[in-house]
Amino acid sequence: MAVINSPLESQFGFKAPGFSVDELGNITATSLIQTGAAAASDVTDYTIQEDNGNYGFVGYAGINPTITLARSSSWTFGLTLPVLGFYIYSALPATLYSTGLTHSDGVAAADAQGKLSGTLTFNVPLDAPDTLYYGNANGEIYGTFNIVDPVGRFSTIDVNSTNNATSSTTGAITIAGGASVEKDFYIGGSLNIAGVGISELSSSSNLEITATNKVILQIDNIKLGELNSTGLSVTINNSTIDNTVIGATAPSTAAFTSGTVASLPTVETSITNRQYVDSTSLSLAIAFGL
């Protein structure tokens, strides 16, 4: 079969399977693939041109539109502004905001202000104000940047709110679902678990509880005891200790209301029981006629 080479075409522009251009110039494509460093550098978030002495953003209706930018994100602007230039202000008409600005010609900060062409990159700081402005040299022609908090993935978060958490739905940050933390977790206040039923603190390996002074054991605001540098100081009530050697290396004293010793003594230090004492006393009494 002969191969026929023909250009892409459509009623209003080019077309091919998965690709078309309508009468307004809108492009529909299944996917876009860029190759080469030059192609990548030409891609910008916003393309800005002059529109009868004002700023026109390609793809946005009207002049000097309000643009929303997220903090902790990087935004690029392709500039074609031979007369206006491009400045960013924190207040009009003359307070420039230069933090986070770089230009494709290699300059940064204040030196990146007022550019006519090339690509301006704006890394919006986390502490950027809620409103910034873009405009010409004297700020008479301008539009607004609406600065919002980021949504999704970002490298760092700085939450300025000091609201305390008094429940699972209050505080500076509330999360409806679960939270996963891959590294260390630091808490400046208290750790409260408000689960339903039995709350669980578990570890897939070893679990270490470390305190500088002591670990306090408390139930329903009643102190049961503590674990400190000298050992465990806790009153044991209604408890059973099974298969455990107590005082084997450093015997002390004990007092019981009642107790049972099932085995007979075998050495001098063994604890005896009443049956052995009674039978021994009876044997001695008979032997000595007592």
Q: Is residue 7 part of a domain?
A: yes
Q: Is residue 193 part of a domain?
A: no
- Number of domains forming the structure of the chain: 2
Pairing of strands 27-29, 231-234: unpaired
Q: Is residue 111 part of a domain?
A: yes
Residues 56 and 88 in one domain: yes
Residues 143 and 76 in one domain: yes
Q: How many percent of the chain have pLDDT more than 70?
A: 83
Q: How many percent of the chain have pLDDT more than 90?
A: 36
Residues 143 and 67 in one domain: yes
C-beta of residue 143 within 8 angstroms of C-beta of residue 137: no
At 217 the three-state DSSP class reads strand
Identify which of 106-115, 151-160, 189-198, 211-220 has the greatest average pLDDT.
Answer: 106-115
Residues 1 and 57 in one domain: no
Q: Is residue 132 part of a domain?
A: yes
Residues 103 and 63 in one domain: yes
* DSSP letters spanning 221-268: TEEEEEEETTEEEE---S----S---SSSS------SS----SPP-ST
Higher pLDDT among residues 73 and 16, named by residue? 73
Residues 21 and 104 in one domain: no
Residues 26 and 91 in one domain: no
Residues 143 and 78 in one domain: yes
What is d(CA 39, CA 95) in angstroms, rounded to the nearest whole number?
Answer: 35
- List phi, psi (to 5°) of 31: -160, 160
Residues 12 and 105 in one domain: no
Q: Is residue 80 part of a domain?
A: yes
Q: Is residue 87 part of a domain?
A: yes
Taking the CB of residue 48, how many other CB atoms lie within 10 A of it? Answer: 22
pLDDT tens-digit readout, 68-93: 999 988 999 999 999 999 999 999 99
Range of the domain at 64: 46-148
Mean pLDDT across the chain, nearest whole number? 83
Contacts for 96 with CB less than 8 Å, ≥ 6 apart: 87, 88, 89, 90, 110, 113
Amino acid at the residue 30 = T
Higher pLDDT among residues 76 and 3, named by residue? 76
231 strand-pairing partners: 228
Give the CATH number for residue 140.
2.60.40
Residues 23 and 117 in one domain: no
Residues 139 and 52 in one domain: yes
Pairing of strands 54-57, 67-70: unpaired
**What's the pLDDT at 40?**
40
| Average pLDDT of span 111-123 | 97
pLDDT tens-digit readout, 196-243: 788 888 888 998 888 889 999 888 889 888 988 888 888 777 777 777
Residue with tokens 């044997």: 283
**What's the pLDDT at 33?**
56
Identify which of 1-5, 91-95, 259-263, 277-281 has the greatest average pLDDT.
Answer: 91-95
Identify which of 114-128, 169-183, 213-227 has the greatest average pLDDT.
Answer: 114-128
- Is the overall model pTM greater than 0.75, yes or no? no
**Residue from 130, 119, 152 nearest 69 by CA:** 130
Higher pLDDT among residues 250 and 53, named by residue? 53
Token pair of 51 as six digits: 């529109």
Residues 67 and 9 in one domain: no
CA 168-170-172 angle, to 5 degrees, is 120
Burial class (CB in 10 A: 0-12, 13-18, 19+), 203: exposed
Strands (E), the chain: 19-21, 27-29, 46-51, 54-57, 67-70, 74-80, 87-91, 95-96, 101-103, 117-123, 131-135, 142-148, 215-219, 222-228, 231-234
